Amino acid sequence: MGYSTQNSVRIPKADLQLDGESIYLVIERDTSHSKRGPIRKRILIGTIVDAQYMNPNDNYWEYFPTTKSKAAKKPKTIKPAKRKRPSQNDSFVSDFDEYMAYLQKAARAVAQSNQELSFPKLVPVRTSDSADCRSLSVGGAAVVRSLIQALGLDVILADTFEGEKAFLLTDLISYLCLDRNLDFRGYPSWVSDNLVYQRNAVLDGSINSLLQSGIHAGEILKFFEKWNQKQDLSQPIFIHISKPVCSRFGAVFESKKDIQKQINEGSFRIVTAVSQNDTLPLFYFPIDSEVDLVNNILNQVHQMGYQKISFLIEDSQLFKDHQDEFTTSGCSLLLAGWVSSDLDELIDQYGQDLKGNEDAYIPDTLEYGRTNSDPLGLSGDKTYFRHLYYNPNRAWLDKVKLDKLYQQEQTILNQLILKGLKRKDVNDPDHTYDYVVKNGWIKSFRVNEEYRNIQTKRCGFTTIITDRKMTAYQAIELWTNQTNGLVLLENLLDGLKPSFSKKNNYENYRPAIFLGFLASILVSQITNHLKKLGKKIIDPKTFDQSLDDLNRIKGVRRIQDQENGIRFERDTKLTKKQNELLQVFGLGEENIDLLLDQESEAFNKDL
């Protein structure tokens, strides 16, 4: 079908589909003999000009014969052909054959209409995928960019790293945060789907070079010096010590001897800290020696200016190995562990010292969320937390055996899991479980209510032990806030698996760890802002769903004439959920439009 080059018409209100620049009308053919109902079919009726007008073809006039035409406001332009990313020597992306075909088509149109022939300017593009007019994500980038500017990260990175390295680092940490993909091999494809980050797109080799040797120890120290100058040194901070790093980054070991060698020579601990106010990651540094571990950490932290320090301890073995250092450090301690004993039994186990202090025990029990430590749902949909308070001036720490209690609980849970899945226990005389059996296999089971109540007293409890007086709710809030911020960082570090050498040392993993730390700053800030929606704990599912909603805010490229260049616009109106999310970060649709205008201006300057 031929196109009408003389006139354009308003886009009709009908069941339409937009595919690139082409507009299709969806029609239904009634087929009563088909059990699937009417067959849907689409027909090309023209091409889009802007948000209101289109260039119709003959099919359009067949279905909309009474439409009044209007002079076209914008000339039709040619869409550049897709091709590989241009090299630095390419001035623009074009295809000679397609351009000649356009000229021949335009010449025929001129011969029929006596219209002057105009030559369109072919638009250069930054990546191959941006050459089409599909929608590109912009919402998540607007949020991340605002957070980076609010934190001053862009200024610190620009002052610390030379040249284009700061821009690349900013884009990489945005990628880790927005895409939640810890494999840098996905970065190029992610860039092609995100409008804001296409300007600084680099080849894969540049990323590998940066990860291998592009970030130096002096630069990291300079960054943290500037970063800590922006923090409130008087606020309490919580320090978390990771488990020894030997194979956490996925290095390949050929034998047990190699593993032991790496543990002895190349392992290190990563120490991180978060603030009490907003769980903002403050610093990390490696500890490559287990000798005088706590004092080594304290010396470095005190040199930075922090005074109010607490240790978050979840590894009971770590506490046992450095018990003397912890008890003599003068720092606060916050311990947490799963226990299988009843609370009264726990108090009896720890002796009369606790009962003799009225302030030592706060009998609060709260329900708070579901965790993986209760896989059978023995506590229903909730996990029960108990809080104990001990006077730190009394020598109680040596009595705490959290590792033993943890092992007891795991043994019980493992027995229950095995009991629920073994075929021979179907006819359990105690009627512990009700089973649904099909063809000799257990399809599902549920715990009887009476047995559930019994087990709830034994399993599914977390006991938080603090060294200062607070309610159980305050203890839960304090623990979860700090550990969530640390878990975000630990997950990022665990997931970064660059292809480095077998030797696991800090020199090899410094760039990846540093990038993970920078990304965790953004992740923690997003989490803190999302709490404004009314949720006190932002779980990974809520976090991912919120980012997905933001990433669905997209812009589309409108190809204009040679004088006006390229313009990016929002392709759809914002949903209620998207507006709520933007407001949480202090943004609105006007900020999205402003960002699109800035990208349009920057894009045209690059031409």
In order, the DSSP letters of 38-64 are: SEEEEEEEEEE-SSSEEEEBHHHHHH-
Q: How confident is the model at residue 144 (pLDDT cuts 50, 70, 90)?
A: very high
Whether residue 528 is contained in a domain is answered as: yes
pLDDT, residue 505, reads 52
- Cα separations in angstroms, 561 against 7, 79, 82, 403: 17, 12, 20, 71
pLDDT, residue 147, reads 92
Q: Is 467 left (phi over 0), alpha (psi -120 to 50) or beta?
A: alpha
Q: How confident is the model at residue 245 (pLDDT cuts 50, 70, 90)?
A: low
Tell me the range of 31-35, 171-175, 404-408 where mean pLDDT is highest.
171-175
pLDDT, averaged across the chain: 64
pLDDT, residue 364, reads 39
Whether residue 566 is contained in a domain is answered as: no
Please write down the HEC assignment for all residues of 522-545.
Answer: HHHHHHHHHHHHCCCCCCHHHHHH
Residue 443 has pLDDT above 80, yes or no: no
Distance (Å, rounded) from C-alpha 560 to C-alpha 120? 10
The proportion of the chain whose per-residue pLDDT surpasses 90, expressed as a percent, equals 4
| Structure-block tokens of residue 65 | 């014969």
Would you list the DSSP string of 368-383? ----TT-TT-TTTT--
Whether residue 205 is contained in a domain is answered as: no
Residue 457 has pLDDT above 50, yes or no: no
- Which is more confident, 16 or 123? 16
Q: Is the pTM of this model over 0.75?
A: no
- Which is more confident, 468 or 419? 468
Question: Which of the listed residues 76, 97, 119 is the one where a domain comes to its end?
Answer: 76
| Single-letter amino acid, residue 339 | V
Q: What are phi and psi of 493, to 5 degrees?
A: -65, -40
Contact in structure between 291 and 267 (CB atoms under 8 Å): no
Classify each residue of 363-391 as buried b or exposed e, where b means 16 or more C-beta atoms within 10 Å of its C-beta.
ebeeebebeebbebebbeebbbbbbbbbb
Distance (Å, rounded) from C-alpha 506 to C-alpha 514? 11
Residue 297 has pLDDT above 80, yes or no: yes
pLDDT, residue 30, reads 55
pLDDT, residue 177, reads 85
- Which is more confident, 308 or 100? 308
Q: How confident is the model at residue 134 (pLDDT cuts 50, 70, 90)?
A: low
Closest to 466 in 3D by CA, of 384, 393, 399, 390 = 390
Q: What are the residues whose beta carbons fall under 8 Å from the beta carbon of 411, sequence distance 6 or more?
A: none
pLDDT, residue 10, reads 83
Whether residue 282 is contained in a domain is answered as: yes
Closest to 47 in 3D by CA, of 22, 28, 70 = 22
Residue 483 has pLDDT above 80, yes or no: no
Per-residue pLDDT tens for 102-112?
445 555 554 55
* CA 204-205-206 angle, 5° bins: 90
- Which is more confident, 310 or 346? 310
Average pLDDT on 391-413 reads 43
- Which is more confident, 13 or 130? 13
Count of the separate structural domains present in the chain = 2
Average pLDDT on 39-48 reads 81
Whether residue 515 is contained in a domain is answered as: yes
Q: Which residues, listed in sequence order, are joined to residue 41 by a DSSP beta bridge? A: 27
Per-residue pLDDT tens for 335-356?
655 443 344 444 444 433 444 4
Whether residue 174 is contained in a domain is answered as: no
Q: How confident is the model at residue 582 (pLDDT cuts 50, 70, 90)?
A: very high
pLDDT, residue 593, reads 87
Distance (Å, rounded) from C-alpha 255 to C-alpha 259? 7
Distance (Å, rounded) from C-alpha 432 to C-alpha 414? 15
pLDDT, residue 496, reads 54
Whether residue 374 is contained in a domain is answered as: yes
Residue whose structure tokens are 């480095």: 500
In a 10 Å sphere around its CB, with 0-12 CB exposed, 13-18 middle and 19+ buried, how is residue 600 labelled?
buried
In a 10 Å sphere around its CB, with 0-12 CB exposed, 13-18 middle and 19+ buried, how is residue 163 labelled?
exposed
| Poorest-pLDDT segment among 34-38, 79-83, 470-474 | 79-83
373 is in which domain, residue-wise?
217-539
The DSSP element (H or E) to which 386 belongs, if any, is strand 384-389
Residue 143 has pLDDT above 90, yes or no: yes
Distance (Å, rounded) from C-alpha 24 to C-alpha 19? 8
Say how many CA atoms lie within 13 Å of 552 toward its Cβ. 15
Length of the chain in terms of residues written: 607
Residue 470 has pLDDT above 90, yes or no: no
Question: Which of the listed residues 485, 507, 539 is the one where a domain comes to its end?
Answer: 539
The proportion of the chain whose per-residue pLDDT surpasses 70, expressed as a percent, equals 45
Question: Which of the listed residues 483, 512, 539 is the one where a domain comes to its end?
Answer: 539
- Cα separations in angstroms, 557 against 106, 245, 596, 600: 23, 47, 10, 9
**DSSP E strands: which ranges in 224-318?**
237-241, 269-275, 281-287, 309-313
Whether residue 606 is contained in a domain is answered as: no
Q: Which residues, listed in sequence order, are joined to residue 284 by a DSSP beta bridge? A: 272
